[in-house]
Structure 1
Amino acid sequence: MSTGVRRRMGVEERRQQLIGVALELFSRRSPDDVSIDEIASAAGISRPLVYHYFPGKLSLYEAALQRAADDLAGRFVEPAEGPLGARLLRVMGRFFDFVDEHGPGFSALMRGGPAVGSSTTNALIDSVRQAAYDQIIAHLGVEEPPARLELVVRSWISLAESTALIWLDGRRIPRAELEVQLVHDFAALAAVSAAHDEQMTAVLRRVLKNEPGSGPFGDLVARLIALAS
C-alpha cells in the first residue's frame, strides 16, 4: 500500500490504485469502519481527489467488491486432471486462502456490508456462486445436470460459504480440518442424493471409480466404516 507519496497517474491507473487500497483496508477491517479520509491518505492523495474518481464511498466499495468477487471466483478454477476429491481439496485450499487473507472483505461480500440489498452487490455474490457452480459441474463431466445434482452442488457451495463465515468468528477449528470436512460434505451430500435418484447414482459411481483409497473420498469411507464397527 502507498503511504502519502503523490505522483501523477492516468485516470484508469488511479482508479485501479484506489480500488486496490480500498480492498486492502476492507480486508483488514469492516468496510463500515474505513473512511474516505483513510483511503485517500493510504493512496497519497486528497479526499476531494477520491471523489473525482468515485462519486462516493459506496461506488468505491462496490468496485472493490467486484475485484474481490473476480478473485474469489478464480479460486474455483482447477485443471480437470486427477481424482475429483483431490481437485476439490485444492479448491478448498485456495478458497480458504482468500477467506483467511480477506476476512472482513469476504464477510462484506457474502453479507452485503454497507451495500446490503443493493442490486450490484447481489449480482456480484450471484456471479461468484454461479462461477463456482459451473466449475464443479464441469469437473463432474455432466453437460445437462439433473435437478438433484444441481441441488447438491448449490447446497454445497452455500455450505462452504456459511462454514467460512462461522470459521472467521474466532477460527476455533483448524482450517485444514475444515477444508477436508467440506470435501467430505460434498461426497456425503452426493451419496444421500444418489440413494434417492438413479441419475445421481450413475454420477457418483463414475466419480468413485477413479478415487484412490488414500484420497479424501476414500478417507471418508474409512471413517464411516470405523464409526459403524
Structure 2
Amino acid sequence: MTTGVRRRMGVEERRQQLIGVALDLFSQRSPDDVSIDEIAAAAGISRPLVYHYFPGKLSLYEAALKRASEDLAGRFVEPQEGPLGTRLLRVMRRFFDFVDEHGPGFSALMRGGPAVGSTATNALIDSVRQAAYVQILSHLNVENPPARLELVIRSWISLAESTALIWLDGRRIPRAELEVQLVHDFAALAAVSAAHDEEMGALLRGMLKEEPADGPFSDLVARLISLAS
C-alpha cells in the first residue's frame, strides 16, 4: 500500500482525514478486517498518532459511520416534483449508488461489525431510517400519518435494506431491476393496506392519480393484469 505524505495538520483537519481514510478502507473490506496499522499507513502517520485522535478502532469506526450515515440519509432527499413513482425510483438509484460504493461497510453495519450493539451505532442507524421515513411522508404530503401508513413506510425501508444486503451477496440480480422492484414493492404494500382501510385507499388513489402511463406504478399494474389474464 502506498503511504500518504506526512505533513503537519490541525487537530480537526487530522481527525477528518483519519475518518475519510477509515471510511475508504471500510468501504473496501469489512471493518473487522481493517487494522489500525493499515489506517495509519494510509494516512501517512504512526500508529500511536492514530490513538492520539481516537481511543481505538471502535471510536474511529463510529466516527466514519456517522459521516456515512449522513451521506446515506441525504440520498433520500428528493425534490417534490413529478410523479411519486418516478421520485422513488431516483431515490432507489441513489440508495444503491451508496450500497455499491460502500458495500463491505454497509454489510458489516447491518449484519455485524466492530461497533455492533453500541448505543452510538444503533442511534446512527435509526437516524437514517427516520430520515428516510420523514422524506417519504413529505412526498405523500402527510403530517400526521395513520398507523397503517407508518407500517407501510417503515416496512418498505426495512425491505430496501434487506434487498441491498442480498444483492451484495453475489449481485445475482441486476441492480436496475431491483431498483424498479423496490418501487413496485412500495406500491404493492400500499395497495394491500388500502384493501383493509379506506384512509389508505384515499392515499393510494392520490398516489396513482398523477402517475403517467409509462411510470413505475403503471408498469406494476400492467404486469399484474398480464399475470391474471
* Same fold per superposition (TM over 0.5): yes
Give % identity. 88
Give the equivalent residue in structure 2 for 1:133: 133
Residues 196-211 of structure 1: pairs in structure 2 closer than 5 A? 196-211=196-211
* SS, match of residue 9 in structure 1: coil
Q: 1:207 deviation in Å?
A: 1.1
Q: 1:187 deviation in Å?
A: 0.2
Q: Tell me if structure 2 keeps the 8 A contact 1:211–1:218.
A: yes
Match of 1:123, as an amino acid? A
Q: Tell me if structure 2 keeps the 8 A contact 1:191–1:204.
A: yes
Residues 64-213 of structure 1: pairs in structure 2 closer than 5 A? 64-213=64-213
- What TM-score, normalized by structure 1, do the two folds share? 0.98
Runs of 4+ more than 3 Å apart: none
Separation in structure 2 between the aligned mates of residue 35 and residue 198 of structure 1, nearest angstrom: 55
How big is each residue's C-alpha offset from its partner over 1:60-114, in whole Å with a ceiling of 9 and x where there is no partner?
0000000110000000000000000000000000000000010011112223411
How big is each residue's C-alpha offset from its partner over 1:33-65, in whole Å with a ceiling of 9 and x where there is no partner?
000000000000000000000011100000000
Match of 1:141, as an amino acid? N
Q: Tell me if structure 1 keeps the 8 A contact 2:212–2:218.
A: yes
Q: Tell me if structure 1 keeps the 8 A contact 2:19–2:63.
A: yes
Match of 1:60, as an amino acid? L
Separation in structure 2 between the aligned mates of residue 23 and residue 163 of structure 1, nearest angstrom: 23
Match of 2:14, as an amino acid? R
How big is each residue's C-alpha offset from its partner over 1:11-43, in whole Å with a ceiling of 9 and x where there is no partner?
000000000000000000000000000000000
Consecutive unaligned residues of structure 2, counting only runs of 5 or more, are none
Give the equivalent residue in structure 2 for 1:16: 16
* SS, match of residue 64 in structure 1: helix
* SS, match of residue 115 in structure 1: coil
* SS, match of residue 114 in structure 2: helix
Match of 2:145, as an amino acid? P
* SS, match of residue 212 in structure 2: coil
Match of 2:168, as an amino acid? L
Match of 1:92, as an amino acid? M
* SS, match of residue 113 in structure 1: coil
Separation in structure 1 between the aligned mates of residue 108 and residue 64 of structure 2, nearest angstrom: 11
Match of 2:104, as an amino acid? P
Separation in structure 2 between the aligned mates of residue 10 and residue 17 of structure 1, nearest angstrom: 10
Separation in structure 2 between the aligned mates of residue 11 and residue 112 of structure 1, nearest angstrom: 31
Q: 1:3 deviation in Å?
A: 2.8
- What TM-score, normalized by structure 2, do the two folds share? 0.98
| Alignment length (residue pairs) | 229
Separation in structure 2 between the aligned mates of residue 188 and residue 3 of structure 1, nearest angstrom: 50
Q: Tell me if structure 2 keeps the 8 A contact 1:112–1:122.
A: no
Consecutive unaligned residues of structure 1, counting only runs of 5 or more, are none
